[in-house]
């Protein structure tokens, strides 16, 4: 017997896949990695030059001047409900470039499964409550190198394996490819990032018992079926410029534009054929030791609560700070996920560790 109070989060998670599975496929990869990037609202496609470049623009891996680098990041979203973690390691191959391995996980853990809360005789047995996790994983194999030795051009690519799971009920495997270019001349840098250039495919499969299917039927939800979910290509272009003020201060600024073609989105420039989402980030550095960061992005138009015919433009402001101690860099970012008058905040920490300098 299935009771109406057994409407667990399972129904919402699985049924949402049938409604939003295409445009927002693999949306967890749009969040981004590294507190430095978050402090600058993700405006990093041109200036990325540490191991997190594997995510933002793998061409930036070619700029690393260390033999080996590792990083870790942790963030909690929505008052700790969702956990976002990132680990990466990479090695310099000398004239053969730089290779790295990255793992990204976004998960909601300890979700109660109340499908068997009510016994066949109608009594409630709390011992039947179990827990499951809904998690998304991405494993990236990345490589970057200079176009020719000591030239301004660099290139890179990231092959990614996607794993999405909702407890024992369903899961998907996916594969895709990102590629990037960077051009650096003096204090000016430009970058191009092509995400999912081959179109990323996720193959979903579900294993539901008859009891679980009854829950979907009783609540009017569509029973999820095995299907293919696709992520269409998107492109990010950006430029950055670095100013020096004496021997102590530097100011690095970047503006990025993300282009998507998977249907109309609520961004600054929105249409059915193409959407443009701008980002702006700045980083002030002092003696290459202390860094202050700020950025704005995620521009959206929302309707006024009182006058629906009036729209307001909102955006997400971010700030951050970084500390460099020889071969250790600690970064922190404070993110504001604006949603009208109901903001959510996130504190993001990341650590980067350099080993000895690469041999010339």
Q: Is residue 9 part of a domain?
A: yes
Q: Is residue 171 part of a domain?
A: yes
- Residue 72 has what pLDDT? 96
**CB within 8 Å of 116: residues ≥ 6 apart:** 125, 128, 129, 130, 211
| Tokens encoding 56 | 């933002």
Mean of per-residue pLDDT scores for the chain: 83
Any idea what the CATH number is for the domain that residue 103 is in?
A: 2.40.160.40
Q: Is residue 83 part of a domain?
A: yes
Angle at 159 between CA 256 and CA 273, to 5 degrees: 45
Query: Domain range holding 195?
Result: 4-354
Instruction: Write the pLDDT tens digit of every residue in 73-109.
Output: 998 876 677 889 999 999 999 888 999 999 999 988 8
Q: Is residue 359 part of a domain?
A: no
Instruction: Write the pLDDT tens digit of every residue in 166-207.
Output: 877 788 899 999 999 999 998 999 999 999 998 888 888 877
Q: Is residue 360 part of a domain?
A: no
CB-count burial class (<10 Å; 0-12, 13-18, 19+) for 235: middle
Q: Is residue 148 part of a domain?
A: yes
Residue 252 and residue 240: Cα distance in Å, rounded? 7
How many domains, the chain?
A: 1
Yes or no: say if 119 and 130 are a contact pair by the CB < 8 Å rule: no
Q: Which pTM does this prediction carry?
A: 0.83
């Amino acid at each position: 017997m299935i009771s109406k109070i057994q409407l667990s989060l399972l129904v919402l998670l699985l049924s949402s896949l049938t409604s939003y599975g295409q445009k927002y496929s693999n949306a967890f990869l749009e969040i981004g990695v590294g507190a430095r990037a978050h402090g600058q609202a993700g405006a990093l496609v041109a200036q990325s030059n540490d191991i997190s470049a594997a995510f933002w623009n793998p061409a930036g891996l070619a700029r690393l001047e260390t033999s080996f680098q590792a990083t870790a990041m942790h963030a909690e979203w929505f008052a700790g409900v969702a956990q976002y973690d990132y680990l990466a390691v990479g090695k310099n191959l000398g004239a053969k470039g730089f290779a790295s391995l990255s793992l990204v996980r976004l998960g909601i853990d300890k979700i109660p499964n109340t499908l068997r809360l009510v016994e066949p005789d109608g009594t409630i047995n709390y011992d039947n409550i179990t827990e499951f996790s809904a998690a998304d994983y991405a494993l990236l194999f990345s490589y970057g190198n200079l176009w020719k030795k000591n030239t301004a051009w660099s290139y890179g690519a990231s092959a990614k394996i996607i794993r999405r799971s909702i407890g024992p009920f369903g899961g998907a495997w996916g594969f895709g490819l990102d590629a990037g270019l960077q051009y650096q001349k003096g204090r000016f840098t430009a970058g191009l990032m092509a995400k999912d250039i081959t179109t990323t495919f996720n193959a979903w499969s579900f294993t539901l018992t008859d009891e679980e299917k009854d829950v979907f039927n009783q609540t009017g939800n569509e029973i999820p079926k095995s299907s293919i979910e696709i992520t269409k290509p998107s492109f990010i272009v950006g430029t950055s410029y670095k100013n020096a003020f004496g021997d102590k201060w530097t100011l690095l600024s970047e503006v990025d534009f993300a282009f998507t073609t998977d249907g109309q989105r609520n961004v600054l420039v929105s249409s059915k054929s193409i959407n443009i989402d701008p980002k702006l980030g700045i980083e002030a550095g002092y003696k290459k030791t202390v860094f202050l960061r700020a950025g704005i992005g995620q521009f959206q138009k929302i309707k006024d609560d009182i006058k629906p015919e009036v729209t307001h433009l909102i955006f997400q402001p971010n700030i951050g700070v970084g500390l460099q101690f020889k071969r250790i860099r600690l970064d922190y970012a404070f993110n504001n996920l604006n949603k009208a008058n109901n903001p959510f905040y996130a504190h993001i920490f990341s650590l980067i560790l350099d080993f000895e300098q690469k041999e010339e």
